Amino acid sequence: MAEPIIHHRGPDFRRVYGECLERLQTVCRTESDVLLFTASGTGAFESAVANLCSPGERVLVVAAGYFGERWAQIVRAYGCELSLLRYEWGEIPSADDLAAQLDESGGASVVLLTHSETSTGVVLDVQAMAAAAKDAGALVVVDAVSSLGAVPLETDAWGIDSVVSGSQKALMTPPGLGFVSVSPAAWGQNERAGLPRYYFDWARTRKAQAALDSAFTPAVSLVVGLNVALGLLLDEGLEAAFERHAALGRACREGVKAMGLELFSPDEDRSAVVTAVRAPEGIDSDEIVLAMRDRLGIQLIGGQGELKGKVFRIGHIGYCDVFDITTALAGLELALSEAGADIERGVAVGRALDAYGQALRV
């Protein structure tokens, strides 16, 4: 990414661009188009609403955290009828609830799901949720921004019409690229969709990509970087990457529990993206995050929205191994002790290593 910028309509870039688009299809496990936009994941997600929906049409959003609430805001901003299946932050959405809400509300043209809710660490059973939506005749759009490449996601096999993701999470590239897969059924609906769009228009980008061109000047350096990162991921193998992430999540949760802290994220194998931990009584999680950054050089993240100050989150996706987990746990132990929290010391790192070894049988 530090190399000189190559011309985005010349042969040097076309080669990288074509390879990157193919690798995205492989990682998404789809035969369909994957459209690449220079934008955050939110922009790519918005493209799904603008390209699939029409004003007044019913769109169901499943929300159990910060990002689910954001997708509901987009649906409202575009003047669609919002059917909101809302959970408390941290709850795990269920396919039964989705089926019931679709039944009671008379269905929906599109269902929007958040695979990994980064604000809470919950990863939902997207296969079951997608099946419930398909049964009711809806198209299924999945926000896979933080899940793609970390936990299993079978776009075609599970009948997901549109998977939305971004460069900066498990795909190990700086932020700035968003992309979206589009099933044949989604293309059919796209022809009838009545919302205005230009930069995020799917058909315009598909036409350009078919000629290995981009509709607008792309973020060249990020595409070059993403192509390399996707190569790393595919060299490791998707299944191996999923197992590594599950083991990292297990190691993190066991270490946190050994310290005597309470998990906010569910204690289940699927929750392999980020682990949210409740701050001990009387401790502001934002202060712990800052102290760890300033004095230890370790970056955790605080809570978003209603969880601000109440949880800290340990990310374990992408270019990450068990020693990143043990470093985070050791640093957390130190910072919490210094802040006067009553925690168990000297056990978290060992417990995490054990759990990691057991999970991978190493």
Q: Under the rule (CB under 8 A), what is the footprint of its own copies? A: 1-2, 5, 7-11, 38-43, 46, 50, 73-74, 77-79, 166, 168, 174-176, 195-201, 216-222, 290, 293, 299, 301
- Min dist CB 172 to its own copies, Å, is 10
d(CA 48, CA 202): 9
- Min dist CB 250 to its own copies, Å, is 25
Toward its own copies, which CB reaches closer, 216 or 323? 216
Amino acid sitting at position 279: A
The pair of three-digit structure tokens given for residue 247, joined into one six-digit string:
């083991």
Distances (CA, A) of 245 to 66, 151, 269, 272, 331: 23, 7, 9, 5, 21
- Min dist CB 233 to its own copies, Å, is 17
Toward its own copies, which CB reaches closer, 125 or 201? 201
Toward its own copies, which CB reaches closer, 78 or 356? 78
Toward its own copies, which CB reaches closer, 41 or 249? 41
Which one, of 151, 167, 158, 155, lies nearest residue 135 by Cα?
158
- Min dist CB 70 to its own copies, Å, is 9
Q: What is the dihedral of CA 202, 73, 170, 162, to 10 degrees?
A: -40
Would you tell me how many other CB atoms lie within 10 Å of the CB of residue 219?
22
Distances (CA, A) of 133 to 78, 100, 103, 110, 197: 21, 10, 10, 8, 26
The pair of three-digit structure tokens given for residue 66, joined into one six-digit string:
């910060």
Round the CA-based radius of gyration of the chain to a whole number and report it: 21
- Min dist CB 40 to its own copies, Å, is 4
Toward its own copies, which CB reaches closer, 46 or 161? 46
Enumerate the β-bridge partners of residue 139. 110
- Min dist CB 175 to its own copies, Å, is 5
d(CA 265, CA 239): 23
- Min dist CB 342 to its own copies, Å, is 28
Enumerate the β-bridge partners of residue 323. none
Toward its own copies, which CB reaches closer, 93 or 176? 176
Toward its own copies, which CB reaches closer, 101 or 304? 304
Toward its own copies, which CB reaches closer, 38 or 83? 38
Enumerate the β-bridge partners of residue 86. 63
d(CA 279, CA 261): 8
- Min dist CB 94 to its own copies, Å, is 28
First and final CA of the chain: distance in angstroms? Answer: 35
